[in-house]
């Protein structure tokens, strides 16, 4: 049997150090922004690619069902990653870089909220969607890793996981989702 315990411990230590270094004030600010979306009955759109797409879908599930279960007033979160026919039609007919912008142009209203998740902070389709949202009166939020890339600069609010490691950044974006879910669920009970 191969002993991987040192590699496992190193990864876990990196996760712990990175979450400890993430500014809690930034997380608190985004929790309050999303509470505002709930109180105003605005839609929240969320998007990302690859692992970040999975996080976007998971966030929509946790907010729409996990927080909202049994409540008359519910979160209204739409993962732009979940409509595969639309994504593939837009990618095929227009271009992959427009898969989120095209959906926002049909669904988003001024005052809605748009969350872009990108480990690198430079996913072109996420950047274009955040630009569109900013230009059309939405409130924009970024979840970033590495240096934060263009998304950190363009989103009005950002939670930056400051590490040059895609897996750790993606892990902690999911942790952010669960922190926000837990805090908001407790507040709304």
pLDDT at position 69 is 86
Contact status, residue 11 vs residue 160, Cβ threshold 8 Å: no
CATH number at residue 168: 3.40.50.10490
Which pTM does this prediction carry?
0.96
Asked if residue 189 has pLDDT above 90, the reply is no
pLDDT at position 168 is 98
pLDDT at position 141 is 98
Q: Which helix (H) or strand (E) holds 144?
A: strand 139-144
Query: Among residues 74, 56, 78, 54, which one has the least CA distance to residue 65?
Result: 74
Task: Retrieve residue 86's tokens.
Answer: 């639309």
DSSP string, 25-83: HHHHHHHHHHHHHHHHT--EEEE-STHHHHHHHHHHHIIIIIITTT-SS---EEETTS-
pLDDT tens for 32-60 read 999 999 999 999 999 999 999 999 999 99
pLDDT at position 83 is 95
Residue for token digits 């427009």? 98
Asked if residue 119 has pLDDT above 90, the reply is yes
pLDDT tens for 55-98 read 999 999 999 999 988 888 999 999 999 999 999 999 999 999 99
Task: Retrieve residue 34's tokens.
Answer: 């999303």
Domain that holds residue 171: 5-188
Contact status, residue 114 vs residue 141, Cβ threshold 8 Å: yes
Contact status, residue 95 vs residue 62, Cβ threshold 8 Å: no
Dihedrals phi, psi of 122, to nearest 5 degrees: -125, 20
**Mean pLDDT over the full length of the chain:** 97
pLDDT tens for 141-161 read 999 999 999 999 999 999 999
pLDDT cut 70: percent of the chain above it? 100
Q: Are strands 113-118 and 77-79 parallel, antiparallel or unpaired?
A: unpaired
pLDDT at position 71 is 87
CB-based burial, 125-164: b 16+ in 10 Å, e otherwise = bbbbbbebbeeeebbbbbbbbbebbbbbebbebbbbbebe
pLDDT at position 24 is 97
Could you give the number of structural domains in the chain?
Answer: 1
């Amino acid at each position: 049997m191969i002993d991987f315990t040192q590699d496992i411990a190193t990864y876990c230590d990196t996760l712990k150090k990175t979450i400890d270094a993430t500014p809690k004030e930034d997380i608190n600010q985004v929790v309050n922004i999303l509470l505002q979306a709930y109180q105003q009955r605005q839609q929240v759109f969320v998007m990302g690619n690859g692992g970040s797409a999975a996080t976007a879908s998971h966030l929509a599930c946790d907010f729409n069902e996990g927080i909202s279960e049994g409540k008359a007033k519910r979160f209204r979160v739409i993962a732009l990653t979940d409509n595969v026919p639309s994504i593939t039609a837009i990618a095929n007919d227009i271009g992959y870089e427009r898969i989120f912008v095209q959906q926002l142009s049909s669904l988003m209203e001024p005052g809605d909220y748009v969350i872009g998740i990108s480990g690198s902070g430079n996913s072109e389709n996420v950047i274009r969607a955040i630009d569109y949202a900013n230009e059309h009166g939405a409130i924009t939020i970024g979840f970033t890793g590495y240096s934060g890339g263009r998304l950190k600069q363009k989103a009005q609010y950002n939670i930056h996981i400051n590490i040059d490691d895609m897996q750790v950044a993606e892990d902690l974006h999911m942790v952010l989702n669960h922190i926000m879910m837990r805090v908001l669920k407790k507040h709304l009970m």
